[in-house]
Amino acid sequence: MLVLRFVVEQGMTIDKVLVVTFTKAATEELKDRIRGRLAEAKRALDGRTSVIDSNVLDWLANLAKEMEVVKQRLVVALLDIDRAGIFTIHGFCQRVLHEHALESG
């Protein structure tokens, strides 16, 4: 829900979000849950609310933004979900060291 809120409320692109966890299994679960929550919110905006979590419906009902902007942000996030920064602690550290090898010595 936090990633959904950052994407929709703050207009943050999904590739700017960093989610770190302990295990590879937890990483995969988080990817699925984040993708699912984004898709769930989009389905709710499309009017398909039969199997939507009530927390998502209540949250969407309280948004003051234009629904078209919200929908567009969700579409872009779903398209770019594979670029989301969801890592194990070890994986994130390896990525930073690889991308910033000269700065890290």
The pLDDT tens digits of the residues spanning 69-95 come to 999 999 999 999 999 999 999 999 999
CATH topology of domain 2-104: Rossmann fold (3.40.50)
pLDDT for 49 equals 80
| Full-model pTM | 0.86
In the numeric block, the tokens 């942000």 are attached to 73
- Rounded to whole angstroms, how far apart are CA atoms 8 and 72? 9
The 10s digit of each residue's pLDDT in 46-69 is 988 888 888 898 999 888 668 889
HSE-up of residue 87 (Cα within 13 Å, Cβ side): 13
Query: What is the DSSP code (8-state) at residue 10?
Result: S
CB atoms within 10 A of CB 37: 19
Confidence of residue 104 (pLDDT cuts 50, 70, 90): confident
Decide: 24 and 88 in contact? Cβ < 8 Å. yes
